[in-house]
Chain A
Amino acid sequence: MKKYIITVLGQDRTYPCYEGQRLLHAIEGAGGDCIRVGCREGGCGVCRVKIHSGEYETGIMSKAHIGEEEKKQGLVLSCRVYPKGDLTVEPAPKYKNRQE
């Protein structure tokens, strides 16, 4: 099984991501909490990250959170990212909270 290494800026550890696994699921599954977990289905937008380097594919993401402009800047919802190589990413949360 192919394994990719995910580096999250600001974290002192890396995360393994196996072929076919999604970025958020790999980090969450390895006990990481550096990316906020929401719906895990591309709809709510809280798990947004900026990809700095590496190959990946994406699934359907709500246009309310990721438009064409964001995509060009490497902004994606990590729950819809399928890594195809080692990745370096940075959390880029888009998050609203009644209490904030």
Chain B
Amino acid sequence: MALTGILRPGLIQLRVTDLEKSVEHYVERIGLDEVGRDGDLVYLKGWDEFDHHSVVLRKAETAGMDFFAFKVDSDETLEHYRKRIEDAGVEVIDVAAGDQPGFGPRIAFKIPTGHRIELYAQVERAAYHPPVTNPEIVPREPRGMHASRFDHGLLYGPNVNETKDFFENVLDFSTAEQVDGEDNSTQIAIWLTCSNKAHDIAFVDYPEENKFHHIAFMLENWNEIGQAADIMSRHNISIDVGPTRHGITRGQTIYFFDPSGNRNEVFAGGYQYYPDNPTRNWTPDQLGKGIFYYERKLNDAFLSVVT
């Protein structure tokens, strides 16, 4: 199919315990642009994103994620998925237009891992977006790690197999890669795509509901990953692992933490997925190599450090 229906992750809201330090981290270090504020909320976007904003920071007493939202291609598609979700027996909650500045109505629902997922069709174009007439390659001078956009997320919770079933059969995602459990009829980790990317959202099995593992920002290549590492050490940013490479998705990566302990990733590369590709399977004994291809083992934090 062409890229229709659900298009991409377009909006994520994170809880942060120190708003000013977080804004400095996401704007000055990662390189997002601040597009607005409303009390305890700050709205951000990447330099290569057209829509009003893509990342929201909300000041709170705990770290973690409030919701993860996908943009769909039309109002008709939004209504189509509302019916599909309701037909699957899942309650749909309406979020009024204007709840987020620039955004039209959204629909929200809870998936079996306990996370709040949302869909929306309408969002205003950002005041400062990539040029569309004789477009310059760099619309503004690079800042910090020069992240171009919000790329994907990894979430932790129970019922990964039910979640895979929901995303495949209700939301029309494909599973690009998966890690099998003790037998190959169940999975402990899944990488799902609605697009041409190797993953748009991923899940790892975890006993507690609604946990957040990381939000990933797109960089251009290995060189930018290396420059991001220089910036992380220059500013004593807490690094989890990397620079390294994932076997799964083939992405080049650094995992690090924001000033509230939410894990971030800078991500470059990764293969292009087509919906006729078969699912790539990893056996549980090769999990370490799948996650961190060069180290060939998990670090202590991968399976247990979440917000």
Residues of chain A at the chain B interface (Cβ within 8 Å) = 36-44, 46, 60-64, 95-99
Contact = CB atoms under 8 A, between A and B. Distances in A.
11 contacts: A36-B300, A39-B257, A40-B257, A40-B261, A41-B257, A41-B258, A43-B63, A43-B261, A43-B262, A98-B204, A98-B304
A46 B205 CA distance: 19
B300 A60 contact: no
Given A39-B240, A41-B258, A43-B262, 10 more contacts: A39-B238, A41-B259, A41-B260, A42-B63, A43-B63, A62-B61, A62-B307, A64-B63, A97-B303, A98-B303
Contacts of B63: 39, 42-44, 62, 64
Interface string B261-278: 111000000000000000
B261 A39 contact: yes
A40 B238 contact: yes
Nearest to A77: B261
Given A40-B238, A41-B258, A62-B62, A46 B305 contact: yes
Interface of chain B: mostly helix, strand, loop or mixed: loop
Interface residues of B, number: 28
Nearest to B205: A98
Nearest to A59: B18
B206 interface: yes
A96 B207 contact: yes
A88 B206 CA distance: 33
A90 B45 CA distance: 43
A43 B260 contact: yes
A62 B204 CA distance: 23
A62 B62 CA distance: 4
Contacts of B1: none
Interface string B17-37: 110000000000000000000
Contact of B17 (A37, A40, A62): A62
Contact of A46 (B258, B259, B304): B304
Nearest to A46: B305
B307 A39 contact: yes
Given A39-B238, A43-B262, A63-B61, A98 B188 contact: yes
B138 interface: no
Nearest to B238: A40
B206 A38 contact: no
B300 A99 contact: no
Contact of A60 (B17, B258, B263): B17
B207 A43 contact: no
B173 to A, nearest CB: 23
Interface in B118-138: none
B17 A42 contact: yes
Given A44-B306, A62-B260, A98-B206, A37 B61 contact: no
Contacts of B204: 98
A36 B17 CA distance: 21
A47 to B, nearest CB: 10
Interface string B236-257: 0010100000000000000001
